[in-house]
Amino acid sequence: MDLQFLTYLIAGASFALYIGIALWSKASSTNEFYIAGGGVHPVANGMATAADWMSAASFISMAGIISFMGRDGAVYLMGWTGGYVLLALLLAPYLRKFGKYTVPDFIGERYYSKIARFVAVLCLIFVSFTYIAGQMRGVGIVFSRFLEVDINTGVIVGMVIVFIYAVLGGMKGITYTQVAQYCVLIFAYMVPAIFISILITGNPVPQLGFGSKILNEDIYLLDKLNLVLNDLGFNDYTESIRSKIDVFCITAALMAGTAGLPHVIVRFFTVPRVRDARTSAGWALMFIAILYTTAPAVSSFSRLNFIDTIHNSEYQTTPQWFKNWENIGLISWSDKNNDGIIQYGPGKALENTKPIFSNQRGESGERVVLNKPSDNNNEIYIDRDIMVLANPEIAALPNWVIALVAAGALAAALSTAAGLLLVISSAISHDLMKKIFRPSINDKQELFYARLSAAIAIAIAGIFGIYPPAFVAQVVAFAFGLAASSIFPVLIMGIFSKRINSVGAISGMVSGLIFTLSYIVFFKFISPELNSPDHWILGISPEGIGVVGMLINFFFAIIISSITKPPPEEIRTLVNKIRQPS
């Protein structure tokens, strides 16, 4: 069957399923809207948590990053997975026992301060919106490529779908929708991985194929990839070029930042008991591990197939997948030596970050790029995010597999977008309206504000997706550091220390956030020419500076708390109660 028809069929069926579940499980109270009534089964919650966790970043971007960074890209695997373990062990059970609706709710109550609650809300909204913008743009790109509609149209369709099941269903609708989305995304990720593992190594298990020999060749996959990359002038795929301290800091920042992400933390408020929070965390880790252990294999397969099908080929005879992605501007060829042959090598093909296309075609039929070519032999620009989406096309897999991957990518993006939107709406309706500005509102009015703020948040996210500001794509990569330096420390100290008071917590959050944000803004926006190990503090990149911000947060919170009035007795009793076994 035709690819476009299959994509409409599979994606349309999944959308109908999501909307049907949302209508079936419509929230009728704030308790159902915020935490699904607190009655979700641990296995279902584990599956929903996995879907909430594995956003478009995990499904689309992670394998693409590893594919081009090689061993250095493993920091994302270690950081994100380790962050989940940190969350499951140190935060989830205690926050569930606390029994509130949101992360700012915990911070506001534990630190007995409206200011602390307000600062936590601001941190939460900033981190969440950076994610949503990326998710909505990802939805638009998938629609643009596979359904052949405008990217902006794709974003609007995604907004409508999220609006229906997030605004109507709340956490109750989102939970069961995410169970379905997990099934879609994991099936969509594993099927092409298994296909390609068989084609390249003869082994149907991608995790084992990753360490196997190439089919009909007496050489292991990673050794072959190293040889191919060396021939083109790249470093070894298995070689790390980052300093050890930078790798450590990036991994730690990703871990702490991930553990502080509010849209995942809130999932553990939805189960009936503290024991169920631990159980669902274990199930979620198992569901997440299926994709995360497969990603390195997918990265290696896609990079090898990409080089084999493109390098030293004539444009006119290149596979159709190259021209398909060229048409939406995510890959381009600049024929620097006018020989009609595509050369791929190290370095940027263009002086600008992304190609600027004209409507004209070159002598070989390629789309003409208006950017000035860079001074190296590489003629290929490729957006790393297309590697997973294009992987089935590169390997010439059946159309139904390609359509399935599109549906999986949409499921991953929409599941996380819905979770983030719910966190934002809960923070606004519950923490700002109910707890600060309008404490006299009743349950029905609070539910109205929750739905209204969710609708407004979806509209803002859609605008960012349609008109992405230049900073969004860059800031998303640093949201983990900002969460690590602001939210994570106050959660840990709030659970495990009875001495930290409101003044210390607020000082810690503000100082950690300001330092981390300033460091990122300076090296990424004010002076990008200085963004190198020679100018970084202790050789720590902006991606890893969140660890230093986290330490600053801890330092100021502890010092200021020690020289100011201790928390009231009821707060110390509350901390004891949180930590005592049920």
Nearest Cα to Cα of residue 135 among 514, 412, 534, 525 = 412
How far apart are the C-alpha atoms of 485 and 489, rounded to whole Å?
A: 7
Report whether 325 contacts 390 (CB < 8 A).
Answer: yes
Length of the chain: 582
Other beta carbons within 10 angstroms of residue 190's beta carbon come to 16
pLDDT in tens, 173-230: 778 888 888 888 999 999 999 999 999 999 999 999 999 999 888 899 999 999 999 9
pLDDT at 477: 58
Q: What is the pLDDT of residues 107-140, one digit of tens each?
A: 888 998 888 888 888 888 877 777 777 677 777 7
Q: Is 374 exposed, middle or buried (0-12, 13-18, 19+ CB in 10 A)?
A: middle
Backbone angles phi, psi at 332, to 5 degrees: -155, 160
Q: Residue 190 is which amino acid?
A: M
DSSP string, 372-420: PBPSSS--EEE-TTHHHHHHHHHTT--HHHHHHHHHHHHHHHHHHHHHH
Q: How far apart are CA 406 and CA 404, in angstroms?
A: 5
CA nearest to 513, candidates 131, 240, 257: 257
Interacting residues of 226 by C-beta distance below 8 A, sequence separation 6+: 236, 237, 238
E strand or H helix at 332: strand 331-333
Beta carbons within 8 Å of 280's beta carbon, 6+ residues apart? 40, 42, 43, 45, 46, 49, 267, 268, 271
Taking every pair of C-alpha atoms in the chain, what is the biggest distance, in angstroms?
79
* Percent share of the chain, pLDDT over 70: 93
Q: Are 504 and 556 in contact (CB under 8 A)?
A: yes
Q: For residue 222, what pLDDT is reported?
A: 93
Q: Are 50 and 202 in contact (CB under 8 A)?
A: no
Q: What is the pLDDT along the chain (582 residues), one digit of tens a residue?
A: 677 788 888 888 887 887 787 777 666 666 666 666 567 888 888 888 888 777 777 787 788 888 988 888 888 888 888 888 888 788 878 887 877 667 888 888 899 888 888 888 888 887 777 777 767 777 777 777 777 777 778 788 877 877 776 666 667 777 888 888 888 899 999 999 999 999 999 999 999 999 999 988 889 999 999 999 998 888 899 988 888 899 999 899 988 988 877 777 777 777 877 778 788 888 888 899 899 999 999 999 999 999 988 888 888 888 888 888 887 778 888 888 888 888 888 888 887 767 777 777 877 777 888 888 888 888 888 888 788 888 888 888 888 988 888 888 888 877 777 777 777 887 788 777 777 787 777 777 877 887 888 788 888 878 877 776 544 445 555 678 888 898 899 999 999 999 999 999 999 999 998 999 899 888 877 888 888 888 899 889 888 899 999 999 999 999 999 999 999 999 988 888 887 765
Which has the closest alpha carbon to 103: 480, 502, 491? 491
Residue 220: phi and psi, rounded to 5, are: -75, 155
pLDDT of res. 376: 83
40/46 Cα distance (integer angstroms): 10
- How open is the CA angle 230-347-375, to the nearest 5 degrees? 120
CA dist 115 → 253, 437, 509 (Å): 26, 12, 11
Q: What's the pLDDT score for residue 473?
A: 46
Residue 509: its pLDDT value, please? 92
Q: Torsion angle of alpha carbons 429, 434, 440, 441, nearest 10°? A: 20
CB 138 within 8 A of CB 409: yes
- For position 186, what pLDDT does the model report? 92
Tell me, what amino acid is at 132? I
Residue pair 378/349 in contact (Cβ under 8 Å)? The answer is yes
Question: CB-side exposure of 268: number of CA atoms within 13 Å?
Answer: 31
Non-local (6+) Cβ contacts of 131 within 8 A are: 55, 263, 416, 417, 420, 476, 479
pTM of the model: 0.84
8 A C-beta contact, residue 556 and residue 507 = yes
Phi, psi of 113 (to 5 degrees): -150, 130
Which contacts of 186-190 are long-range, i.e. CB under 8 A and separated by 24 or more positions? 186/287, 186/290, 186/291, 186/408, 187/404, 187/408, 188/404, 188/405, 188/407, 188/408, 188/409, 188/411, 189/59, 189/291, 189/294, 189/298, 189/388, 189/405, 189/408, 190/290, 190/291, 190/294
Coil, strand or helix at 162: helix
